[in-house]
Structure 1
Amino acid sequence: MLTHFQFKPLYDNKQLPGWKFSFYFHKQKYNGVYHPDGKIEWTSGAPEAVNIEQVKSQIHELMLFHVYDN
């Protein structure tokens, strides 16, 4: 489970899509960029391969809820 999930617009012009995000997973902090097409670009190390799909799915759900459903 992801904890302390945070995101903010990637650009000062909030009309342009793209978001920076950060969260903790298994007591490790991760950072990345969420692109408008749903692509995730890790700016810190990526979670372990065994957990990556679970983490990506949770990020997509959180972004849909917080960004696209508002």
Structure 2
Amino acid sequence: MLQHFSFKSLYENKQLPGWSVSFFYKQHRYTAEYESEGTIKWIGDTPADEESVKKMIHELMLFHVYD
């Protein structure tokens, strides 16, 4: 489970898609860029179980941004 999930727009013009996301997972802080088509680019470390973490990020972004 992701904890302390936060996101912010990459651009001053909030209408442009692209977000910076950060969260804690298994007591480690991760940051990434979430692009409009759903691509996730990790900044720094990549989680060992990357695919399950990506799924959780997609679900949170759909709920917070696209809903």
Smaller-chain TM-score bracket = over 0.9
**Where does residue 9 of structure 1 map in the other structure?**
9
Moved beyond 3 Å, runs of 4+: none
For residue 8 of structure 2, give the secondary structure of its aligned residue in structure 1.
Answer: strand
Tell me the residue number matched to 2:24. Answer: 24
Q: Structure 2: give runs of 5+ residues left out of the alignment.
A: none
In structure 2, give the amino acid aligned to 1:55.
Answer: V
Q: Following the alignment from structure 1 to structure 2, what is the Cα–Cα distance between the partners of residues 67 and 23?
A: 16
| Ranges in structure 1 where 5+ consecutive residues have no aligned partner | none
- TM-score normalised by L of structure 1: 0.93
Structure 1 residue aligned with 2:35: 35
Deviation of residue 44 (structure 1)? 1.8
Identity of aligned residues (%): 55
Once the two structures are TM-superposed, the CA of residue 34 in structure 1 deviates from its matched residue by 0.2
CA distance in 2, matches of 1:32, 1:26: 16
In 1, distance between residues paired with 2:44 and 2:5? 15
TM-score in terms of structure 2 length: 0.97
Question: What is the CA deviation profile of residues 6-39 of structure 1, one whole-angstrom value per residue up to 9, with x for unaligned ones?
Answer: 0000101101100000000000000000000000
